[in-house]
Homo-oligomer: A and B are copies of this chain.
């Protein structure tokens, strides 16, 4: 149920901002997927030949299929095209355990606009989503890849963006010294150049200090200056939108593992469990769709990692105990009176209240044990005598009290008795 509740919340928040649902197939032609994410996603792809002899793969994220879909259909879709997609993705690993590498992502994206409005809305949606899920303490880390690109432009290292990014992405895990070493070993930077790039990791202070430092660092690079300016617009808008400043910060060392990002990027950490990693990530990918169409089709979006968030909420004890989706159990005793029990359940459901009819005429104790294990709130109990009278017991399973009410004629009192228990629960 917490999984369903979070998906439901995501749908509600996404729709409120004008994102429509779409669905793309789990399988894509292999060439659509390869070379789009990273060396790692290429390696982890589940791939096979289908019954028509075509090479296909299972999607490793929802962004690449969206870009393919948008590129193919943008003529009829029109822009801006805002969509959300809640679905599983697959990343195979050579593990011994029997667990498959399938996990759910809850994505939302805007296609076809370069506007900073889409960048800002992405941050607002991440914020609203986490708040409505019930997460109070989180930090959206915001960066713009143009900062690093601008810095590399200044250092005349633009062609090394990918290996530098990949090294920088390991900063949290292996630390500055090891990243500097990797930049020299795999990207061929000098020690001095690596230290220049790693200045990014030292930027700290108040929001305006950070913004000033960044502007200073990229001054002279048009790309870098544009990136710094956009970062400034985003944080200004978050501030004027009344988002608490504890919920976001600029972190120019955030790299994101995927190659396709070109502009702003987001990662979201739980303040009480940062070690689990980002639970909502995304960014701007202005060139991805161009791999499938000649049209310029910028995109931006983010993805809630449902399984990781659920694992974190479990650790943080933020998950409410499981409850059955129907709060009322109708106990069943007498096979000959099945029609009456069905009628009883139907009266409850007709009032919009979920009711489950126990399927076997077992002893009351066994049925109440089932009710407790499943988290039912109300048991409706009627033996043959009560069925003859058109009455039943409405039992509050939390405090064990019961009332006898009529249900067959004038069911109002019966339904009210159930509602009273549910209101207390």
Give the docked Cα–Cα distance between A326 and B21 (Å): 12
Q: Does A137 contact B (CB under 8 A)?
A: no
Q: Does A48 contact B (CB under 8 A)?
A: yes
The answer to whether A325 and B15 have CB atoms under 8 Å apart is: yes
The answer to whether A102 and B326 have CB atoms under 8 Å apart is: no
The answer to whether B102 and A359 have CB atoms under 8 Å apart is: no
Task: List the B side residues contacting A73 at CB < 8 Å.
Answer: none
Q: Mark A75-97, 1 if CB is under 8 A from B, else 0.
A: 00010101000001010111110
- Decide yes or no: A117 and B26 within 8 Å by CB, A20-B1, A241-B343 being known contacts: no
Give the docked Cα–Cα distance between A19 and B356 (Å): 8
Q: Does A131 contact B (CB under 8 A)?
A: no
Task: List the B side residues contacting A113 at CB < 8 Å.
Answer: 359-360
- Decide yes or no: A354 and B3 within 8 Å by CB, A339-B240, A342-B237, A346-B241 being known contacts: no
A interface, how many residues as a size bin? 35 or more
- Contact among B51, B95, B324 with A18 in the assembled complex (CB-CB below 8 Å): B324
Closest to A233 in B: B338
Task: List the B side residues contacting A355 at CB < 8 Å.
Answer: 16-18
Task: List the B side residues contacting A242 at CB < 8 Å.
Answer: 346
Q: Does A115 contact B (CB under 8 A)?
A: yes
Closest to A11 in B: B4
Give the docked Cα–Cα distance between A147 and B238 (Å): 68
Give the docked Cα–Cα distance between A373 and B240 (Å): 31
Q: Does A259 contact B (CB under 8 A)?
A: no
Q: Does A47 contact B (CB under 8 A)?
A: yes
Give the docked Cα–Cα distance between A113 and B342 (Å): 17
Q: Does A74 contact B (CB under 8 A)?
A: no
Q: Does A181 contact B (CB under 8 A)?
A: no
The answer to whether A48 and B46 have CB atoms under 8 Å apart is: yes
- Contact among B95, B237, B342, B359 with A80 in the assembled complex (CB-CB below 8 Å): B359
Residues 40-60 (chain A) with a chain B CB within 8 angstroms: 44, 46-48, 50-52, 56, 58
- Contact among B102, B325, B343, B358 with A27 in the assembled complex (CB-CB below 8 Å): B102
The answer to whether A115 and B46 have CB atoms under 8 Å apart is: no
- Decide yes or no: A17 and B349 within 8 Å by CB, A78-B373, A92-B51 being known contacts: yes
Give the docked Cα–Cα distance between A201 and B96 (Å): 53
Residues 352-379 (chain A) with a chain B CB within 8 angstroms: 352-360, 370, 373-374
- Contact among B18, B58, B78, B359 with A325 in the assembled complex (CB-CB below 8 Å): B18
Q: Does A417 contact B (CB under 8 A)?
A: no
Closest to A79 in B: B370
The answer to whether B240 and A82 have CB atoms under 8 Å apart is: no
Q: Does A215 contact B (CB under 8 A)?
A: no
- Contact among B47, B240, B338, B358 with A48 in the assembled complex (CB-CB below 8 Å): B47
Task: List the B side residues contacting A329 at CB < 8 Å.
Answer: 18
Q: Does A118 contact B (CB under 8 A)?
A: yes
The answer to whether A102 and B26 have CB atoms under 8 Å apart is: yes
Give the docked Cα–Cα distance between A1 and B14 (Å): 13
The answer to whether B354 and A27 have CB atoms under 8 Å apart is: no
Closest to A353 in B: B16
Residues 84-133 (chain A) with a chain B CB within 8 angstroms: 88, 90, 92-96, 98, 100, 102, 110, 113, 115-118, 120-121, 124
CB within 8 Å of B: which residues of A?
Answer: 1, 3-4, 11, 14-21, 23, 25-27, 29, 44, 46-48, 50-52, 56, 58, 78, 80, 82, 88, 90, 92-96, 98, 100, 102, 110, 113, 115-118, 120-121, 124, 233, 236-237, 240-242, 324-326, 329, 332, 338-339, 341-343, 346, 349, 352-360, 370, 373-374
28 A-B residue pairs with Cβ-Cβ distance under 8 Å, sorted by A, are A3-B23, A4-B11, A15-B325, A15-B354, A16-B352, A17-B326, A18-B354, A18-B355, A25-B102, A26-B26, A26-B88, A26-B90, A27-B100, A27-B102, A29-B98, A50-B92, A50-B100, A51-B95, A52-B94, A52-B96, A80-B359, A80-B360, A82-B356, A113-B360, A117-B341, A117-B359, A124-B342, A236-B339
